[in-house]
Amino acid sequence: MRGSVHRLARAIATLALAGCSSPAVIPAPTPAPMTLAEPSAPENVEVYKAGGFVVGSGGIPFVGLVRYTATEFLDSTAVLITLSVPPRSLSFVRAGDRYAAFYSMRVDMLRGDAIVRSDRSTGEVRVASFAETTRGDEGIIFQRIIRTAPGAYALRVIAQDSLGSGTGSSNAMITVPAMREGSISSIIPVFMAEPRDSRNAALTIVPNPRATARYGRDSVLAFYLESYGATAPDTLIVTARRESSDAVLAADTVVGRRNAPVRAVGASLPVYKLDLGSVRVAVSRPDGTQLESLTGLVNLGVEMPVTTSQELLESLRYFATDADLQRLRAASPAARPALWAALVRRTDPNASTPDNEALLEYARRLRVAERLYGRGTRHGWQTDRGSAVVALGEPDYMTEPQPADSLGSSKVVTWEYRRHRLFLVFTDATGPDSWRFTTYSAGEFRALLALAGPCVGCR
């Protein structure tokens, strides 16, 4: 968690425009096409949409949240718009010993066709290496506070790449609540926050626009919230549950300073208790009355078609060694994220880049296998054809189904991996989803893996 806070704090600091002493701007080298950088949309985009996040479409696929806190006036509310922009969606140029990208953000609040509030700002982000310009995660954070009267508005957000043609936009309906005495703010996902002690104090936070924690990197999913006035609750309970279950995965009871005009508190939920996937985070009074909720997410930082840590272990059968998998299976839930992080570091073929390229390639293969061969509750990597794709990549050549004998009672397909001098034959005797290795091909497949090791061609 501490490392991510420092990295993101530095990213926030880059949002201001560069001063007059900025070095000369030189065009950056054009990167070679990379399949691994696709798709350009953020991972888990459907989860974000279902959770009510602000999701931008177009060339700049931002994701973010709209949150609400009190101002010093009872008839106005502070609307916090916080967005996460993937660096790879912007055009970077060489600026001295770094790479820089420039962008603009327009935020409009409308009633009907009339713009009630509008904010236009520009920003800059600088990164130390060219590899960081291709990141697709939460590298750039934008935040803005707009004060407005409570009520219903249409929110329009437009992001523009200042050096290129990329544009992203989002339209949503929001209802701005009144922050009267006795009320509480929205629950705000954060990487760090300084508690306020009055309604007119500035809100100083590093927000987490995707409400997301990285499994193996972040220890907790952290939140900030406030209550206002003497009649507001002193004690609040923050809980996390699966959308389809009443069982509490994790909880934190927080107590604010009694009788303070603003009682600011921080809550944290351990990532290992949340496991992978989305959760519903709720804020309640001690009597169980729910006051506020939002969707939180724990992910791997790379898009893999798994929803639990147990599924993750099963999907890694062609990426990690048997010894690695045994250590992960034997570990307690609390120790497993650290072991996963150690495995990611150990298998990274290029430690100087921000991503594990071998894991990115393996995750891509998993997605291909899931899309082509996953059926119902059976994952693509659990099928023979999916196993071949995950372990070896796509074949160089494959035949259409052909009769295996003169009776036509079964069919065969052949996959050729010319780079490995390997032919794999699959037979299907009962239906379109039952393609299996022939006995000979299964042996050849296992022999190649025993010789080449896991994830052939990933590293």
For residue range 215-227, list pLDDT tens digits in order. Answer: 999 999 999 999 9
According to the model, what pLDDT value does residue 429 have?
Answer: 65
pLDDT-derived band at 407, boundaries 50, 70, 90: low
Residues whose CB falls within 8 Å of the CB of residue 330, separated by 6 or more in sequence, listed in order: none
pLDDT-derived band at 408, boundaries 50, 70, 90: low
The DSSP element (H or E) to which 437 belongs, if any, is strand 436-437
User: Which of 13 and 115 is assigned the larger pLDDT?
Assistant: 115
Mean pLDDT of all residues in 166-185: 95
Percent of the chain clearing pLDDT 70 (strictly above): 88
Mean pLDDT of all residues in 368-387: 91
Q: What's the rounded Cα separation, in Å, for the pair 123 and 140?
A: 10
pLDDT-derived band at 203, boundaries 50, 70, 90: very high
Token representation of residue 83: 């967005």
User: Which of 395 and 408 is assigned the larger pLDDT?
Assistant: 395
Mean pLDDT of all residues in 57-76: 94
According to the model, what pLDDT value does residue 38 have?
Answer: 34
According to the model, what pLDDT value does residue 20 have?
Answer: 31
Q: What's the rounded Cα separation, in Å, for the pair 219 and 270?
A: 6
Helix axes 439-452, 384-392, angle to 10 degrees: 20
Contact at 8 Å (CB) between 93 and 27?
Answer: yes
Phi, psi of 321 (to 5 degrees): -75, 165
According to the model, what pLDDT value does residue 129 have?
Answer: 84
Domain regions of the chain by residue span:
2-299, 309-452
User: Which of 258 and 390 is assigned the larger pLDDT?
Assistant: 390
pLDDT-derived band at 447, boundaries 50, 70, 90: very high
| 265-312 pLDDT per residue, tens | 999 999 999 999 999 999 999 999 999 999 999 999 888 999 889 999
Q: What's the rounded Cα separation, in Å, for the pair 236 and 224?
A: 12
What burial class does residue 208 get, using C-beta atoms within 10 Å of its C-beta: 0-12 exposed, 13-18 middle, 19+ buried?
buried
Asked if residue 39 has pLDDT above 60, the reply is: no
Percent of the chain clearing pLDDT 90 (strictly above): 68
pLDDT-derived band at 105, boundaries 50, 70, 90: very high
pLDDT-derived band at 432, boundaries 50, 70, 90: low
Mean pLDDT of all residues in 412-420: 93
Question: Where is average pLDDT lowest: 31-40, 290-299, 361-370?
Answer: 31-40
pLDDT-derived band at 18, boundaries 50, 70, 90: very low
Contact at 8 Å (CB) between 157 and 54?
Answer: yes
Q: Which CATH number fits domain 2-299: 3.40.50.740, 3.40.1550.10, 2.60.40.10, 3.40.640.10?
A: 2.60.40.10
Mean pLDDT of all residues in 107-132: 92
Q: What's the rounded Cα separation, in Å, for the pair 185 and 207?
A: 15
Residues whose CB falls within 8 Å of the CB of residue 69, separated by 6 or more in sequence, listed in order: 77, 78, 80, 179, 185, 186, 188, 203, 226
Question: Where is average pLDDT lowest: 8-22, 96-110, 153-167?
Answer: 8-22
Asked if residue 12 has pLDDT above 50, the reply is: no
Question: Where is average pLDDT lowest: 39-43, 89-93, 370-374?
Answer: 39-43
pLDDT-derived band at 158, boundaries 50, 70, 90: very high
User: Which of 130 and 153 is assigned the larger pLDDT?
Assistant: 153
Mean pLDDT of all residues in 117-142: 85
pLDDT-derived band at 19, boundaries 50, 70, 90: very low
Asked if residue 214 has pLDDT above 50, the reply is: yes
